[in-house]
Structure 1
Amino acid sequence: MTPDVDLTVRPPRPRVLRDRLLAADYRLFEKVAARHWPGGDRLLPRLSRTANHGVLWFAAATALAATGSPRARRAAARGLASLTLASATINTLGKRSVRRPRPVLDPVPHVRRLKRQPITTSFPSGHSASAAAFATGVALESRGLGAALAPLAAAVALSRVYTGVHFPSDVLAGAALGVGAAFAVRGLVPTRDRLPPPGRPRVDAPALPDGAGLVVVADQGAAAPDRVRALGDALPRAETVQCEPDEVRAELEKAAARAQVLGVCGDDGTVNAAAEVALRHGLPLAVLPGGSPDHLAHDLGIEGVRDLTRALRQGDAVRVDVGRFTSGDIERCFLGSVGLGVHPELVRERERWAEWLGAWPADVIAALRVLRADHHPLQVGLGGAPRPLWLLFAGNGTHHRTGLAPGRRHELADGLLDVRVVHGGRRPAARLLAAALAGPLTRSPAHAAVRVRELRLTGVAPGTLLAHDGEVTEVQGDVTLRKLPEALTVYRPFPRT
């Protein structure tokens, strides 16, 4: 009797499959070693060395930041954050989990070999991970910039095989890890296109195809002259007035008397002054970012002349809330936030350094200097007896970035004040840092955050400093904060359909 024959096709055993993959990997490595690209023997080894320790990508990030474009700066920051995460993952997990020897250099011509051969394990490729992480991080913020960097990142990855320090699978695994790191960073800090659009639905506003009826007042001390000129080129019938900082309010009043739409270019304080004038005259406001940090313009999605021009030509606008604080005879508006305690000192220190170092480094230095100084808590009553506070921050709408400084707002007409308080105590630095790391709506013995429609602060000593939209004012006593719901019409670009 003939025995049964098992004709079932069985998959290769894991060890056999691994051996086949390794063999194919080595054959591909040998093919790359045998291939000569014109100029590759000189260019690729140098490129590989330039990418050591991320130097190439830090230089690329510096070049992007130097352009002055907000999108390029965000792309640079996202690229470096992605690179940092990829490098940390490679060094803590990747290199320790798979201890693969480096390739034998016999097939690689001497002219291509690096002068200093790496001594770490081969799998995965750290250079490829950094290149892919940086390029992908930049691309997630700006497709154009990412496309420009993609060939450079691919060349760095290729150079690791071409110089004989990695197998092709090492490079592919490193690149995959780098891409994953960039997407992980986006999961933690979403790109702007993944955030909900700010503002309420579109309202009627004058469409100005050539700028007729628009009068823009630009603060020469804070505005970017090139942006003002670019706006004039894009809207030839628009009128622009450039003035000194102490002339801004007077020029805004003059402009409002003859404008159909009031425009402004400057820092947050200049925009605040323009909003007050626009409210009094019932005019829509067009904000061109030119100062620092341009909170309202960025929350509206206006990063430059192109965004504002598109909104003005199409008549795209929303209505936003305006905050108002009163103290004795003082009555002022605020579009971003007000703050007491150490907050005014943070503002003053930041302004002192921002002109020389830029916004983000100035924020860091201001925080360090304020935290190191000797302070006494502020005595403020919140619905009861006065209590010691290190900081009180009230935002015009919920700020979704944690920390002591204002963050991005997804909704500019929610009718609420975003109030954050750091209670007094013996260790102000620890409490302020804890509040900075906490979520936007938290409560603890050290700090608290709530959202309210109105807030009254009693027991405030006359002469206490209050910061509002980058300006600092001395109050006359008790302070009342309230909202003017959807009081101001502002232009903002809507997504194209």
Structure 2
Amino acid sequence: MPTSNPIPSPGPWRARLTRYDLAAFQAVADRHWPGAEHVLPRLSRGANHGLLWFGAAAGMAALGSGARSRRAALRGIASLGVASAAINTVAKRAVRRERPILDLVPVIRRLKRQPFTTSFPSGHAASAAAFATGVALESKGWGAVVAPVAVAVAASRVYTGVHYPSDVLAGAALGVGAAFALRGVVPTRGQLPAPGRPPGQAPSLPAGDGLVVVVNRESGSATAAAGLVRDALPLATVVECAPSDLSGCLEEAAGRGRALGVCGGDGTVNLAASVAATHGVPLAVFPGGTLNHFAYDLGIEAVHDTATALASGDAVRVDLGRFRPGPHGASGADGYFLNAFSLGVYPELVRTRERWAPRIGGWPAGVLAAFEALRGERPLTAELQGRRRPLWLLFVGNGMFQRVGPAPGRRHNLADGLLDVRVVHGGRTPALRLLAAAVAGPLTRSPVHAAVRRRQVRISGLAKGTPYAYDGEVAHSGTELVIDKVPEALTVYCPRPV
């Protein structure tokens, strides 16, 4: 009776792999790598504890243009964190492999401080691969810059004699896997579905011919962006205005050109949108503020994106949020918002931030403003949809805000006809309630938080002069407010989704 071949034990295979590993390690040790002895050991030391990658992320965020660079830096660091946690809590303890014997490695290559952890897998290689992969998932350009450095760090671990080649390959594989695992939990911007984009009619304006762009010279990065606009659209007319002159400049520009352009933050874009909608001209948005929520939700992250849409005449129609009476109450004019309208602690936060930002800077002012706003002793009291209630925050979004991972993110549909209404109910501890609401996220009901969809919101019983915020601007109410939408009221140049 014939017998089947026995299954080979893992011993011979493991021994064979070890021989290959040692042979590759010795080949690297024996070979002369011109100039490497001055670079690779330093690079290997610089990557200790992720310091090299934290520095790279800071440089990307500071030197890069737009939100894509900041997202790439943040995702790279987050991916590194996931990889490090996996390596240090599981992988290093599961395979207790001894470090290579340093006798084969020239003294000039060796690190002054030898690692004391087990050899398999390489934590440096994992961190390098995770950071580079995370960056590349958000920005291919930055990924191409970071990748050679990551490869060099991984190679340096064999070159300096602290890891076998298989340690490095396994670490790199784990790092790549960590970056993709994180992407499964927190999608990249490219993974999200394209926003709802009912097409709009707009003229093609190659090189900006017929476009008048108004720049708020005191808004975020608008001055630098204005230079990019002039380079990308040499035929456009660019007008720089002080904030006090913006309204007049926008009105004049809307009457002069075939389209109105605006470069500034969300408050500046808000004013331009109301002027463009009133005059019936398409709007071209160039991100030039701190947050640029509306532009980013349209898929516009840089001047080039808008310039491309202008050249091809690609445009979409979007809803305008509306509140009545508007910020000038007695004039009878409506108020509009592109992103969100809010009552409660947020308007106070905005007001405090604006007061302190010129003195101490934007981010410190934001922290101080949040601390001051959450010290309030009593919540706002108002009648909402016919029911009187205390509340810490009423948020009304122009369109439904989706989640990107653990935090509310972009809007997928800018012409859905809906208001995203979120309420944080009153209580003794505003900070805890706001935190609970943030954690609740998409839950429609909780003891402290409610989230519903509406086409109209009625608020009454307000104390006259109650502050409210719309697209980062602060005004004061009468005793009643009605919030609704003007469907597809605005045509905006927008690049086609790739």
Query: Given the two structures, how large is their TM-score scaled by the length of structure 2?
Result: 0.93
Deviation at 1:201, TM superposition (A): 3.5
Cα separation, partners in 2 of 1:356 and 1:158, compared to 1, 3 Å: farther
Deviation at 1:381, TM superposition (A): 1.6
Cα separation, partners in 2 of 1:45 and 1:95, compared to 1, 3 Å: same
Deviation at 1:356, TM superposition (A): 8.6
Any idea what the Cα deviations from partners look like across 1:103-154, whole Å, max 9, x if unmatched?
2212112111111111111111111111001111111111122122111111
In structure 2, the partner of 1:305 is: 303
In structure 2, the partner of 1:283 is: 281
> What SS does the corresponding residue of 2:228 show, helix, strand or coil?
helix
1:96 to 84, 93, 98: 93
Pick which of 194-203 and 420-429 moved more: 194-203
In structure 2, the partner of 1:79 is: 76
Deviation at 1:225, TM superposition (A): 2.1
Deviation at 1:428, TM superposition (A): 1.4
In structure 2, the partner of 1:132 is: 129
2:476 to 474, 477, 481: 474
Q: Distance in 2 between matches of 1:154 and 1:201?
A: 45
Q: Distance in 1 between matches of 2:244 and 2:96?
A: 67
1:150 to 134, 147, 157: 147
In structure 2, the partner of 1:450 is: 452
Deviation at 1:495, TM superposition (A): 3.2
In structure 2, the partner of 1:400 is: 402
Query: Given the two structures, how large is their TM-score scaled by the length of structure 1?
Result: 0.94
Any idea what the Cα deviations from partners look like across 1:396-430, whole Å, max 9, x if unmatched?
01112379997311110111111111111122111
Identity %: 62
User: In the alignment, is the contact (CA less than 8 A) between 2:284 and 2:492 conserved in 1?
Assistant: yes
Any idea what the Cα deviations from partners look like across 1:320-340, whole Å, max 9, x if unmatched?
000001146462000000111
2:212 to 211, 215, 218: 215
1:120 to 94, 117, 120: 117
1:375 to 367, 374, 377: 377
User: In the alignment, is the contact (CA less than 8 A) between 1:402 and 1:437 conserved in 2?
Assistant: no
Q: What letter corresponds to residue 496 of structure 2 in structure 1?
A: F
Q: Distance in 1 between matches of 2:184 and 2:355?
A: 34
In structure 2, the partner of 1:237 is: 235
Residue 464 of structure 1 pairs with residue 466 of structure 2: yes
Residue 52 of structure 1 pairs with residue 48 of structure 2: yes
In structure 1, the partner of 2:11 is: 15
Q: Distance in 2 between matches of 1:448 and 1:81?
A: 30
> What SS does the corresponding residue of 2:492 show, helix, strand or coil?
strand
Deviation at 1:233, TM superposition (A): 2.7
Any idea what the Cα deviations from partners look like across 1:32-72, whole Å, max 9, x if unmatched?
22222111222211110011011111111111111241222
Q: Distance in 2 between matches of 1:472 and 1:225?
A: 24
In structure 1, the partner of 2:156 is: 159
2:167 to 167, 170, 191: 170
User: In the alignment, is the contact (CA less than 8 A) between 2:201 and 2:491 conserved in 1?
Assistant: no
Cα separation, partners in 2 of 1:354 and 1:135, compared to 1, 3 Å: farther
In structure 2, the partner of 1:335 is: 338
Deviation at 1:362, TM superposition (A): 6.3
Pick which of 187-196 and 396-405 moved more: 396-405
Deviation at 1:80, TM superposition (A): 0.8
In structure 1, the partner of 2:108 is: 111
Q: Distance in 2 between matches of 1:64 and 1:305?
A: 19
Pick which of 416-425 and 196-205 moved more: 196-205
Pick which of 259-268 and 187-196 moved more: 187-196
In structure 2, the partner of 1:260 is: 258
Q: Distance in 2 between matches of 1:139 and 1:444?
A: 38
User: In the alignment, is the contact (CA less than 8 A) between 2:404 and 2:410 conserved in 1?
Assistant: no
Cα separation, partners in 2 of 1:440 and 1:104, compared to 1, 3 Å: same
In structure 2, the partner of 1:27 is: 23
Q: What letter corresponds to residue 420 of structure 1 in structure 2?
A: R
Q: Distance in 2 between matches of 1:482 and 1:83?
A: 44
> What SS does the corresponding residue of 1:210 show, helix, strand or coil?
helix
Deviation at 1:20, TM superposition (A): 2.2
For structure 2, the residue ranges without an aligned partner over 5 or more in a row are none
Q: What letter corresponds to residue 54 of structure 2 in structure 1?
A: F
Cα separation, partners in 2 of 1:364 and 1:171, compared to 1, 3 Å: farther
Q: Distance in 2 between matches of 1:360 and 1:86?
A: 30
Q: What letter corresponds to residue 250 of structure 2 in structure 1?
A: L
Q: Distance in 2 between matches of 1:19 and 1:478?
A: 80
Q: What letter corresponds to residue 74 of structure 2 in structure 1?
A: A
Residue 436 of structure 1 pairs with residue 445 of structure 2: no
Q: What letter corresponds to residue 90 of structure 1 in structure 2?
A: I
Q: Distance in 2 between matches of 1:85 and 1:208?
A: 46
Cα separation, partners in 2 of 1:48 and 1:363, compared to 1, 3 Å: same
Count of aligned pairs between the two proteins: 491
Q: What letter corresponds to residue 284 of structure 2 in structure 1?
A: A
Q: Distance in 2 between matches of 1:349 and 1:492?
A: 34
Cα separation, partners in 2 of 1:166 and 1:348, compared to 1, 3 Å: farther
In structure 2, the partner of 1:41 is: 37
User: In the alignment, is the contact (CA less than 8 A) between 1:402 and 1:438 conserved in 2?
Assistant: no
2:190 to 166, 170, 193: 193
In structure 2, the partner of 1:66 is: 62
RMSD, aligned CA: 2.2
For structure 1, the residue ranges without an aligned partner over 5 or more in a row are none
Deviation at 1:439, TM superposition (A): 2.1
Pick which of 196-205 and 170-179 moved more: 196-205
Q: Distance in 2 between matches of 1:207 and 1:9?
A: 73
Any idea what the Cα deviations from partners look like across 1:249-271, whole Å, max 9, x if unmatched?
01111111222101111111111
Q: What letter corresponds to residue 28 of structure 1 in structure 2?
A: A
Q: What letter corresponds to residue 440 of structure 1 in structure 2?
A: P
Cα separation, partners in 2 of 1:357 and 1:260, compared to 1, 3 Å: farther
**After the TM superposition, which residues 381-420 of structure 1 pair with which residues of structure 2 at under 5 Å, given as runs?**
381-401=383-403, 407-420=409-422
Q: Distance in 2 between matches of 1:32 and 1:10?
A: 37
Q: Distance in 2 between matches of 1:448 and 1:179?
A: 39
> What SS does the corresponding residue of 1:43 show, helix, strand or coil?
helix
